Amino acid sequence: MEQRFPLTRGSRVVLATKNRDKLEEFRRLLPELDIISLDAYPWVELPPEGDRSFRENALSKARACMRATGMASLADDSGLVVDALGGAPGVMSARYSGQDASDADNLRLLLRNLSEVEPSHRSARFVCVLALVAPEGEWVFEGVCEGEIALKPAGSNGFGYDPVFIPRGSSRTFAEMCPREKDIYSHRARAAFKLKLAMTCGGGLC
């Protein structure tokens, strides 16, 4: 029997992250939902992210949040996959230069590791896996944005690796774009679109 998709327009859902940038981005991408900050549930402890897959990390966080709150919970795990680095930083994107690394630390290490790589071989992609866990079941949506790594940072918007990621079809980094322009390309926007489609279709195929 097919699971009933639990979200409709106006549904309340907890976003399993303490990252304010992600919260703002998902609220912008999913205005149809009433997205509650994890700050409203200070007792919730999210499990540490592992090193196996984006999917496993996203599901683990969403499951923990749903168990603790009893509410439908969304969690994402996102990262940058660079071909010349064998897929690194990948699931370790937020911890690329250490467990307590800052965005600036990770960015410096990435560019240092790519310093000998020619511009034509700096292909990369941002990946987002968005997991929804609710009493009715579990759903997973994936978004991918292909692009390349710039030779040096540019722009002051966004966060993470945005200053060096140029999406395919553009000549500017994510950090040089306003939020609405970034949403045209971004991996999170593509994952969020698939969730919206599931809402429209009741979890089935349109």
Annotated catalytic residue 77: yes
> What are the structure tokens assigned to 120, written together?
């034509």
CA atoms of 138 and 162, how far apart (whole Å): 30
Between vectors from CA 93 to CA 87 and to CA 98, what angle results, nearest 5°?
120
- Which residue out of 21, 34, 77, 183 is catalytically annotated? 77
Distance of CA 143 to the CA centre of its chain: 8
The token duo for 135 is 């009493």
Write down the residue that tokens 């940038």 correspond to.
21
Q: How far apart are CA 158 and CA 148, in angstroms?
A: 17
Give the Cα separation of 93 and 107 in Å (integer).
Answer: 10
Sign of the dihedral through C-alpha 93, 99, 102, 106? negative
- 128, 189 Cβ separation under 8 angstroms: no
**Region of residue 86 (left: phi > 0; alpha: psi -120 to 50; beta: else):** left
Give the residue numbers marked as catalytic. Answer: 77
